[in-house]
């Protein structure tokens, strides 16, 4: 394909052909207009253009039939379908037939020109080989300093059965880290069972965890093993541990202390050997102070703590994560791998990502389904991600972003904001200073305006994995 893209327009409406022929009269486009599909079908099959633009309803061969015949011979040919009948059936039939894009009449000529150029760029991209990005099968992706700390923690715990607490906002990948801890532990090959405390009705949590005997309650028609028995010898991951009811906290504490429990309605103790990995997005210390979480259970679970950063705190990982998720989505949906343009990639790195890694993953799945071409432009992003608010925050207006966060947190009823914000603020500054000094603590302390002893003390609470290095 040369730099000049050949475009064929098939439409029985003379006015539409006239408008498009003049709108597409550009140095990079070579346009041919025809009235009927049957007069050019043979030529289309033998020597297809780079882009085909066709109406749906025409005498003889209609647009959908034309698209089906041409794409059978040339499946990579982008076809733009036009119609004055802008109904759901036409749109669905167009996309199901493999249309590159659906263009309802009347249309804006600038929009039509931009769409044809995107289709031409798509055709060029399809001619280039696609390589699956490295790291597709990686458990966790991360080059940011905060993620390197997580990797070090997993490595140091690889020969241990010790209890671990994972802290991080929703969507940061706590279960992925828990699975990695299990897979790199002596318990690999044994069961890994994940249970979200917030997703289970309160009256079913104990049965879910510890199982029940036949007849223990209405509906208990047979004996059932709970998650503890199912994960015997392996790892039990308790997500959102802060939502566990008080009575269940008491039973869990006994299991951790004694290594045995009773099924609901049972009288025979059941012994298990289970490693517990707990996770929460909440501040458990505050829950303890408020009397909503047992202090003795907190200390049992909080043996080793791993902190997961927000996606906005590891922006350098966003391009690689996006490539990974786009490849995963393409594999899942049996379609071509989408490729981000440099502008789209830069835009994604500047967004605030309140939903963290999960939001990025869902965005990549959305793009795989909804983006027209193989190349993903900024205009292809979901509408809520196209504005520049996130870019402004990333490029320096952090005070406004911080004020917005405080407004949202208070409006949602959160309290003790300083206890959450100050450690996060200090952790980000420490990580960034260490990054700029290559890990040299004396120089990092000087950049921050602290003494070395102050930095050492802060590391023990903020980044314990780095404290002894």
Domain locations in the chain? 5-127, 146-307, 312-390, 410-466
Which of 323, 282, 5, 345 lies closest to 141, judged by CA? 323
Residue 379 has pLDDT above 70, yes or no: yes
Token digits for 74?
A: 């040339």
Distance CA 378, CA 16 (A): 29
Strand 275-280, strand 51-55: pairing: unpaired
Q: For 267-294, what is the mean pLDDT? A: 92
User: Phi, psi (5° rounding) for residue 35?
Assistant: -90, -35
Whether the per-residue pLDDT at 72 is higher than 70: the answer is: yes
Class of domain 146-307: alpha beta
CB–CB of 270/263 below 8 Å?
Answer: yes
Helix (H, G, I), strand (E, B), or coil: what is residue 192?
strand
pLDDT of residue 186: 92
Summarize pLDDT for 314-367 with one digit per residue, the tens. Answer: 999 999 999 999 999 999 988 889 999 988 999 999 999 989 999 999 999 999
Provide the sign of the torsion angle of the four alpha carbons 454, 457, 461, 466, taken in this order. positive
- Long-range Cβ contact pairs of 318-321 (< 8 A, separation 24 or more): 318/345, 318/348, 318/349, 318/353, 318/360, 319/345, 319/348, 319/349, 320/133, 320/135, 320/141, 320/143, 321/141, 321/357, 321/360, 321/361
In this structure, CATH architecture of domain 410-466: Orthogonal Bundle (1.10)
3-state SS assignment for residue 373: coil
pLDDT tens digits, residue range 20-46? 988 888 888 899 999 988 888 888 888
- The Cα–Cα gap between 173 and 167 comes to 10
Superfamily of domain 5-127: Response regulator (3.40.50.2300)
399's CB contacts (< 8 A; 6+ apart) are none
CA–CA gap between residue 380 and residue 370 (Å, rounded): 8
pLDDT of residue 306: 92
Instruction: Report d(CA 401, CA 427) in Å as an integer.
Output: 18
Residue 391 has pLDDT above 60, yes or no: no
**Per-residue pLDDT averaged across 426-452, rounded?**
83
- Matching CATH topology for 146-307 and 312-390? no
Q: Look at the domain 312-390 and name its fold.
A: Helicase, Ruva Protein; domain 3 (1.10.8)
Comparison of pLDDT for 190 and 463, the residue scoring more: 190
From the number of C-beta atoms within 10 Å of its C-beta (0-12, 13-18, 19+), residue 415 rates as: exposed
Residues 283, 420: contact at Cβ < 8 Å?
yes
pLDDT at 121 over 50: yes
Per DSSP (E only), the strands in 229-359 are 235-239, 260-261, 270-271, 275-280, 304-307, 339-340
What CA–CA distance (Å, rounded) separates 382 from 40? 38
Is the model's pLDDT at 130 over the cut of 50?
no
The proportion of the chain whose per-residue pLDDT surpasses 70, expressed as a percent, equals 89
Other Cβ atoms closer than 10 A to 56: 21
In this prediction, residue 394 carries a pLDDT of: 46
Which residue carries 């199912």 as its tokens? 230
Taking phi over 0 as left and psi of -120 to 50 as alpha, with beta for the rest, 323 belongs to: alpha
Tell me the pTM.
0.62
Name 279's Cβ contacts closer than 8 Å, sequence gap at least 6.
165, 166, 167, 168, 174, 175, 178, 237, 238, 239, 240, 241
The whole-number average pLDDT for the span 262-270 is: 88
Q: What is the pLDDT of residues 282-312, one digit of tens each?
A: 989 999 998 999 999 999 999 999 999 999 9
Which pLDDT score is estimated for 87? 60
CA 90 – CA 197 distance, rounded (Å): 45
pLDDT at 131: 42
Contacts for 452-455: CB closer than 8 Å, 24+ residues apart: 455/430
Phi and psi of 72, rounded to 5°?
Answer: -65, -35
Which positions ≥6 away from 239 have C-beta within 8 Å?
Answer: 174, 175, 178, 194, 195, 196, 197, 198, 278, 279, 280
The pLDDT > 90 percentage for the chain reads 32
């Amino acid at each position: 394909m040369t730099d000049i893209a050949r475009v064929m327009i098939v439409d029985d409406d003379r006015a539409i052909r006239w408008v498009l022929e003049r709108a597409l009269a550009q140095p990079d486009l070579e346009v041919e207009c025809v009235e009927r599909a049957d007069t050019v079908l043979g030529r289309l099959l033998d020597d297809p253009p780079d882009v085909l633009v066709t109406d749906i309803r025409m005498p003889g061969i209609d647009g959908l039939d034309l698209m089906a015949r041409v794409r059978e011979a040339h499946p990579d040919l982008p076809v733009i379908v036009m119609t004055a009948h802008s109904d759901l059936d036409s749109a669905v039939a167009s996309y199901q037939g493999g249309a590159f894009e659906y263009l309802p009449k009347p249309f804006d000529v600038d929009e039509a020109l931009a769409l044809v150029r995107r289709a031409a760029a798509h055709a060029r991209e399809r001619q280039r080989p696609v390589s699956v990005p490295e790291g597709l099968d990686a458990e966790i992706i991360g080059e940011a300093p905060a993620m390197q700390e997580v990797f070090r923690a997993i490595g140091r715990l690889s020969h241990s059965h010790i209890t671990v607490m994972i802290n991080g906002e929703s969507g940061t990948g706590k279960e992925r880290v828990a699975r990695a801890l299990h897979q790199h532990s002596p318990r690999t090959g044994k069961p890994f069972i994940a249970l979200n405390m917030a997703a289970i009705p309160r009256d079913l949590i104990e049965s879910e965890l510890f199982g029940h005997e036949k007849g223990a309650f209405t509906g208990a028609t047979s004996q059932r093993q709970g998650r503890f028995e199912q994960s015997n010898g392996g790892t039990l991951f308790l997500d959102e541990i802060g939502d566990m009811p008080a009575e269940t906290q008491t039973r869990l504490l006994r299991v951790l202390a004694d290594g045995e429990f009773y099924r609901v309605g049972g009288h025979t103790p059941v012994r298990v050997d289970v490693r517990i990995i707990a996770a929460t997005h909440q501040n458990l210390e505050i829950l303890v102070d408020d009397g909503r979480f047992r202090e003795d259970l907190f200390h049992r679970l909080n043996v080793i703590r791993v902190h997961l950063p927000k996606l906005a705190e590891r922006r350098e990982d966003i391009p690689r994560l996006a490539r990974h998720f786009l490849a995963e989505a393409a594999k899942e949906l049996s379609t071509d791998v989408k490729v981000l343009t440099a502008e789209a990639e830069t835009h994604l790195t500047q967004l605030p990502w309140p939903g963290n890694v999960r939001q990025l993953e869902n965005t990549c799945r959305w793009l795989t389904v909804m983006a027209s071409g193989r190349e993903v432009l900024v205009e292809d992003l979901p509408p809520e991600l196209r504005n520049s608010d996130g870019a402004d925050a990333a490029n320096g207006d952090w005070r406004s972003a911080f004020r917005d966060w405080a407004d949202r947190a208070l409006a949602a009823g959160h309290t003790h904001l300083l206890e959450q914000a100050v450690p996060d603020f200090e952790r980000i500054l420490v990580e960034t200073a260490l990054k700029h000094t290559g890990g040299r603590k004396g120089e990092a302390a000087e950049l921050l305006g602290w003494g070395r002893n102050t930095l050492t003390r802060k590391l023990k609470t903020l980044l314990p994995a780095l404290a002894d290095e």
